[in-house]
Structure formats: structure tokens, C-alpha cells
Amino acid sequence: MRPRFRRRLGIQFNDTYFKPRGIPLRELTEVNLTDEELETLRLRYIEHIDQEDAAKMMGISQSQYQRDLTSVMQKISQALINGYAISITKREP
């Protein structure tokens, strides 16, 4: 398997948790997102940049961008529907 290359990010994200109200974090299942996955969402849904241009900005192929976008949407959907906490972490260089 090829090593994963570090993507270029347009902004820096803080390590953050999002969780349902009223339930202690220790009682929740976590879904982990990386800052790279969050950047994928930001480019597509906040900046409204098409897949081809967003992939170029991140320094990855268009197909890898689509796989990343699909993966992060599945994770967020799972967290929202099942009431999981979302942990956002920075990938190590």
C-alpha cells in the first residue's frame, strides 16, 4: 500500500469535540475526523469549489478527493444519526 501524502490545507483547525448535549463525553462513542477531512468539507460546502479545483488545491487526485469526501460524509452522518461525539484532530506530519 502506498504511503499517504500530507494534503495542503487552506486554514488551520483547532482540535475540537462536538457532542450531543446532556451526555458526558466519557459515555459517548467517538467518530474521528482529521483536519484534512475537514478541509475537504470546507472547500466543497463552504467555499463551493468544484471537485477538480479542490483536489488541485489540496495536492491530491480528483478521485482521492472524492473518496475523502465520501468518507467524511459517512462519518458525520453516522455521528449525527447515532448521537456520537465528533473528534477533530490534526494529522501528524
Write the pLDDT tens digit of every residue in 22-69.
999 899 999 999 888 989 999 999 999 999 999 999 999 999 999 999
Q: Determine the Cα–Cα distance for residues 32 and 40; give it in Å rounded to an integer.
A: 15
Q: Does residue 33 sit within a domain?
A: yes
pLDDT at 49: 97
CA-closest candidate to residue 32, choices 80, 75, 61: 75
Q: Does residue 2 fall inside a structural domain?
A: no
CATH number at residue 45: 1.10.10
Distance CA 73, CA 2 (A): 24
Question: Which is more confident, 64 or 13?
Answer: 64
What confidence score (pLDDT) does residue 3 get?
Answer: 58
Mean pLDDT across the stretch 76-85? 95
Residue 18 is predicted with a pLDDT of 86
Residue 84 in any domain: the answer is: yes
**C-alpha to C-alpha distance for 85 and 23, rounded to whole angstroms:** 10
In whole angstroms, what is the distance from residue 85 CA to residue 13 CA? Answer: 17
Residue 46 lies in a domain: yes
Q: Which domain holds residue 73?
A: 16-89
